Amino acid sequence: MTDSRFSRQIRFAPLGVEGQARLSGSVAVIIGCGALGTLQAALLARAGVGTLRLIDRDYVEESNLQRQLLYTENDAFEGLPKAEAARRHLLECNSAIQVETHVTDLNPENADELLRGDVILDGTDNFETRLLINDYAVCHGIPWIYGAAVGSYGIAMPILPGDSACFRCVYSEPPSGAQPTCETAGVLGPVTSLIASLQSMEALKILSGRVSSVRRMIFRADLWNGPVRESPMPPRDSSCPACGQRNFEYLNGRRAPVSLCGRNAVQIHERSRPVDLIGLAVRLDGLGTVRYNEFALRMITPEYEITVFPDGRAIIKGTTDVGVARSIYSRYVGN
């Protein structure tokens, strides 16, 4: 590949020729090829990162096109796996890189195969998956970059094992109760693009060997109402189960947030997280047929039947795929 391709990037003095060479020999792992992951992949591919490993079990749908910038109407028409559709488009803009695709759900059993690289970028919609990523990254000393967006709000944070606080230092417990999701609260493309751009910038610093330039900050933005701000990351917590005690319970598979539950159904049984069923019913209105009482809420869609209990437990009927059930739970109940 000619130097002219990256000439504008090389002329940026903090990167330079040596930094560009490091990029070409690096491996970036992207978990989730949705709104965040597709833009991360596009930016890193165009910047000349040598190998991208894309992990996503989902398929392109028409509703993705509003914010998932790599995909086309034809991808949705064909129902292509997101990772494969992304690979095709990435190679159209930079045929010299390697793009590995894994159409699968990340779990403790395949984490070692999938997550080995120089940096991990979060494009997931699942809190449990982020805790697994954090366990693996801290255990193996791999930097990773958290990001999330819903509505007009987004957040990004780099995690440098052994240097900064880890994800679990900052979020010691999963959020309680039902949380807004893109399915229930919507999401705007500009905020996902902003968060993915921030994640990609920190990844480029890491991959080019400029780790000292990584901002140890938590960036938050509401692009509709404001404000846009950043705050220092807290110090490492010596009592943190992951980076303090090195007890990697998510990586070791000791937690079982899901299990098969009878015929064609999966039960989600996370740690107790009380759910306001009335509030959840209001948020789900219009997304399916919803019925509820003090004991449970049930929503029926053309594909699935979701039953949520006040303690956060849920039964997803219509699938025996644990990854699909987790995604449905995250989509409708929250992360």
Provide the residue ranges of all domains of the chain, joining segments of one domain with +. 3-232, 258-332
Task: Tell me what pLDDT residue 271 has.
Answer: 53
Residues 284 and 184 sit within 8 Å (Cβ to Cβ): yes
pTM for this predicted structure: 0.83
* Of residues 172, 163, 54, 56, the one with CA closest to residue 103: 56
Q: What is the pLDDT of residues 144-185, one digit of tens each?
A: 999 999 999 999 999 999 999 999 999 977 776 677 888 788
Q: Are strands 98-102 and 51-55 parallel, antiparallel or unpaired?
A: parallel
CATH topology of domain 258-332: TATA-Binding Protein (3.30.310)
Residue 28, beta-bridge partner list: 52, 119
Binned at pLDDT 50, 70 and 90, residue 328 comes out as very high
Q: What is the pLDDT of residues 186-195, one digit of tens each?
A: 999 999 999 9
DSSP state of 267: E
Binned at pLDDT 50, 70 and 90, residue 309 comes out as confident
**What is the domain class of 3-232 according to CATH?**
alpha beta
Residue 256 has pLDDT above 60, yes or no: no
> Which 3-state string (H, E, C) describes 194-207?
HHHHHHHHHHHHHH
DSSP state of 4: G
DSSP state of 266: E
Task: Tell me what pLDDT residue 71 has.
Answer: 98
Question: Which runs of E-coded beta strand occur in the chain?
Answer: 27-31, 51-55, 98-102, 119-122, 144-150, 153-159, 217-222, 228-232, 258-260, 265-268, 289-292, 297-300, 305-308, 314-317
Q: What is the pLDDT of residues 111-142, one digit of tens each?
A: 999 999 999 999 998 888 999 999 999 999 99
Nearest-5° Cα angle at 169, 165 to 170: 95
Question: Across the chain, how many H-helices and E-strands are there?
Answer: 12, 14
Q: Are strands 217-222 and 228-232 parallel, antiparallel or unpaired?
A: antiparallel
Q: Which of 124-138, 194-208, 314-328 has the highest mean pLDDT?
A: 194-208
- Indicate the average pLDDT of the chain: 91
DSSP of 131-146: HHHHHHHHHHT--EEE
User: Mean of the pLDDT values across residues 74-87?
Assistant: 92
Helices marked H in 28-165 — which ranges?
35-47, 73-78, 82-93, 111-115, 127-140
Could you give the CA distance from residue 335 to residue 44 in angstroms, rounded to a whole number? 27
